[in-house]
Amino acid sequence: MSLIPSIFGNRSVFDPFSSDIWAPISSNNEISSFTNAQIDWKETPEAHIIKADLPGLKKEEVKVELEEGRVLQLSGERSVEKEDKNEKWHRVERGHGKFLRRFRLPENAKADEVKAAMENGVLTITIPKMEEKKPEVKSIEISN
């Protein structure tokens, strides 16, 4: 469990499941419009799987890092398209800017075996889980 500082003022967010921080910051330190990237985190019997929608980004524009062996960090930047003198933009709705997401991995995560893949604008991170230790059961003979 953690209290997470927010970039949106002095508010703190209580999140018992992760230390997830969303920091969409543009190059001029304004809040970015690239805040619509969505993240799903599911747990299977074998692994934790995180999927991030990053449409329009190439894998070279995204970083997946592990901090202190327990904090998974996703970051990257979607650049603004360069404007040509002969072009006139009528509408700009696609988000741009830097983003940063952080997740504290659960105790059962095998942090040294994290894998990431990106396909069709979806980043999939697989974090294998340690096998659950089953309690040792010893039969006791009942005497007369």
pLDDT tens-digit readout, 62-105: 999 999 888 999 988 887 777 777 888 787 777 778 888 888 99
Q: What class does CATH assign to 2-80+95-128?
A: mainly beta
pLDDT attached to residue 126: 97
**Distance linking the first and last C-alpha atoms of the chain:** 51
Q: Give the pLDDT band of residue 116 (cuts 50, 70, 90).
A: very high
Has residue 2 got a pLDDT over 80? no
pLDDT of residue 37: 60
* pTM of full prediction above 0.85: no
Q: What's the DSSP call for residue 57?
A: -
Look at residue 61 and give its three-state secondary structure. helix
Rg (CA), the chain: 21
